[in-house]
């Protein structure tokens, strides 16, 4: 089995690599989340440390899950129930709290594999309503107070990303990464222009809420009246 080991601690990574290799597994090790996301495609199993130098492990898990159904066990030094629950809700199949015995890890991996693979994505809502705004994610139709509104492809993509999980805040980087496929655009004004376009065309300035320094989320859909 090809195991992707995402762990920034060299000693722990070396010990786990040796233990897994003894059982006949091929281990690819990534010390950073961005390397892990690059290397994920060949993996049959992912062991993901939540404390990584470049990205929060839960965020890495979320990005991994958007593109892959590979079994994941999160490994964490944090034993707080909240983090563990967030990990499991974020798509991990199981978790281990450091320090752990290798035998325990192997047993958990086998248990996850016995349970079988998960569906790639949980079915989310198809039509999202916010105030008088109705966003149909399947047909890509948008209505404000019953009247159709046309957005550009990218404007709709941005709105759909926010609507898929109402209430969840998406960072600029995340939106640029997902919609434009390019994190490096984060300095550009493209996103601001598209957000402004969504607000203007719908006549609902509150449809996309800006959280200064954090990102954007789907707002209440309050619109200017009498248009």
Site size with Ca ion, rule: CB under 5 A: 3
Choose between 55 and 88: whose C-beta lies nearer to Ca ion. Answer: 55
Among 49, 83, 93, 155, interactor with Ca ion by CB under 5 A: 49
Q: Judged by CB under 5 A, does residue 51 bind Ca ion?
A: yes
HSE-up (13 A, CA, CB side) for residue 198? 29
- Report the residue closest to Ca ion, judged by CB: 51
Q: At what angle do helices 190-202 and 153-164 cross, to 10 degrees?
A: 80
Contact 215, 170 (CB under 8 A): yes
User: Which stretch, 6-14, 59-67, 168-176, 189-197, contacts Ca ion (CB under 5 A)?
Assistant: 6-14
Determine the 3-state secondary structure of 106 from DSSP: helix
Reading the block at residue 128, the tokens are 């999202």
Q: How far is the CB of 73 from Ca ion (least distance, A)?
A: 15
Q: How far is the CB of 1 from Ca ion (least distance, A)?
A: 23
Q: How far is the CB of 92 from Ca ion (least distance, A)?
A: 16
Q: Judged by CB under 5 A, does residue 8 bind Ca ion?
A: yes
Choose between 8 and 165: whose C-beta lies nearer to Ca ion. Answer: 8
Choose between 49 and 83: whose C-beta lies nearer to Ca ion. Answer: 49
Q: How far is the CB of 47 from Ca ion (least distance, A)?
A: 12
Buried b (16+ CB within 10 A) or exposed e, 169-204: ebebebbbbebbeeeebbeeebbeebbebbbebbbb
Q: Judged by CB under 5 A, does residue 35 bind Ca ion?
A: no
Q: How far is the CB of 8 from Ca ion (least distance, A)?
A: 5
Q: How far is the CB of 56 from Ca ion (least distance, A)?
A: 11
Tally Cβ neighbours within 10 Å of residue 73: 19
User: Which stretch, 45-53, 94-102, 196-204, 211-219, contacts Ca ion (CB under 5 A)?
Assistant: 45-53
Alpha helices in the chain (DSSP H): 10-22, 33-39, 57-67, 81-89, 102-115, 153-164, 172-175, 190-202
Interface with Ca ion in residues 90-129 (CB under 5 A): none
Q: Judged by CB under 5 A, does residue 31 bind Ca ion?
A: no
Residues of the shown chain interacting with Ca ion in the complex, contacts defined by CB under 5 A: 8, 49, 51
């Amino acid at each position: 089995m090809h195991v992707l080991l995402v762990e920034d601690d060299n000693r722990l990574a070396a010990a786990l690599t040796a233990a897994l290799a003894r059982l006949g597994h091929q281990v690819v090790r990534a010390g950073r989340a961005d390397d892990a996301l690059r290397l994920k495609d060949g993996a049959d199993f992912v062991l993901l440390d939540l404390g990584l130098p470049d990205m929060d492990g839960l965020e890495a898990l979320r990005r991994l899950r958007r593109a892959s159904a590979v079994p994941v066990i999160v490994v964490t030094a944090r034993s707080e129930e909240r983090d563990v629950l967030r990990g499991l809700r974020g798509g991990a199949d199981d978790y281990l709290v450091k320090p752990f015995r290798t035998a325990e890890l192997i047993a958990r991996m086998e248990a996850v594999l016995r349970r079988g693979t998960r569906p790639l994505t949980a079915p989310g809502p198809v039509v999202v309503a916010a105030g008088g705004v109705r966003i149909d994610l399947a047909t890509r139709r948008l209505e404000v107070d019953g009247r159709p509104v046309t957005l550009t492809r990218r404007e709709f993509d941005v709105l759909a990303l926010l609507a898929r999980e109402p209430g969840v805040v998406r960072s600029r980087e995340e939106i640029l990464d997902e919609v434009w496929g390019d994190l490096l655009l984060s300095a550009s004004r493209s996103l601001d222009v598209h957000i402004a376009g969504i607000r203007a065309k719908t006549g609902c300035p509150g449809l996309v809420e800006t959280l200064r320094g954090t990102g954007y989320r789907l707002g209440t859909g309050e619109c200017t009246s009498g248009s």
